[in-house]
Every structure is written in C-alpha cells, then in structure tokens.
Amino acid sequence: MASPPQDAQDAQDAQDAQDPPVTPHGRERRAWLLDIAVALLFLIVDAVIVVVTAHLLVMFGYGTMVSSSTGDVPMLVWLTVWGIPAVAATSAITHARLRMPITCVVQSLFTLACTFLALSGTRLFLS
C-alpha cells in the first residue's frame, strides 16, 4: 500500500490539532439525567439510613444508660456511629471525582446529617 505524502499527512495533523472535539448534546443530557436519577436513589436510601440510625442511637443510648453505670459501650456501636459518616464522606468524594455534582451535594448533606448524629450519639454514650 502506498502511504500518503508526508506533506499531506502533516497538513491533516495540523488541521486535527486546531479543531476541538465535538461532543454530542444527547450524551451530555443523559449524563445529567443519570446524575439526577442516582441522586434521587441516594436521597431515598440516605433518608432511610438516617432515620434507622437515629432510632438505633436512641434505643442503644437509653439502653446503655439504664442498664450499665460503668459507661462501657461496645466497639460495634462506636464503629456504627462513626463508620456511617466515614462511608458517606467517601461516597461524596467519589461522586465529586466522577463529576456528578447533584449526587455529590446529596451525599455531602447526608455526611453532615450523619456527622451530627454521630456527635449526638457520642455525647449520649459518654454522658
């Protein structure tokens, strides 16, 4: 096979370097729709997690306050109290790096709610 002349190849490379790549608008729209769908899914799941965690903190908190006067709290409770905000923060950072801004905001708000619950739980268990 004959290769194209070198001057023609250089001219084509120069033209390709000047033209910015064109992104289809449909692909960008699908990315936003996917981001919104994932954000809504996380919003529902996060709301369930916050409500269940709040109920468990109240049940375990009052249960440990009444039953034990020594103040020993099981390690599993501490891992649950501080593990959920850590996982939420990791999820928020991951979605920020994936360039999913709506999901990142939802996960960041979930991280704030979980951190508030973790601080409340810690005060409850230590008092």
4 within domain boundaries? no
1 within domain boundaries? no
Spell out a b/e string for 52-81, using b for 16 or more CB atoms within 10 Å of the CB, else e: ebeeebeebbeebeeeeeeeebeeebeebb
Confidence category of residue 127, pLDDT binned at 50, 70, 90: confident
Q: pLDDT digit string (tens) for 69-117?
A: 556 777 877 888 888 889 889 988 988 888 888 888 989 999 999 899 8
Question: Residue 52 has what pLDDT?
Answer: 85
12 within domain boundaries? no
73 within domain boundaries? yes
77 within domain boundaries? yes
Neighbours of 103 (CB within 10 A): 25
pTM: 0.63
- Of 14-18, 47-51, 113-117, 120-124, which range is least confident? 14-18
- How many domains does the chain divide into? 1
Question: Residue 34 has what pLDDT?
Answer: 85
Q: pLDDT digit string (tens) for 9-37?
A: 666 666 656 655 555 555 556 688 888 88
Residue numbers of the domain that contains 121: 27-126
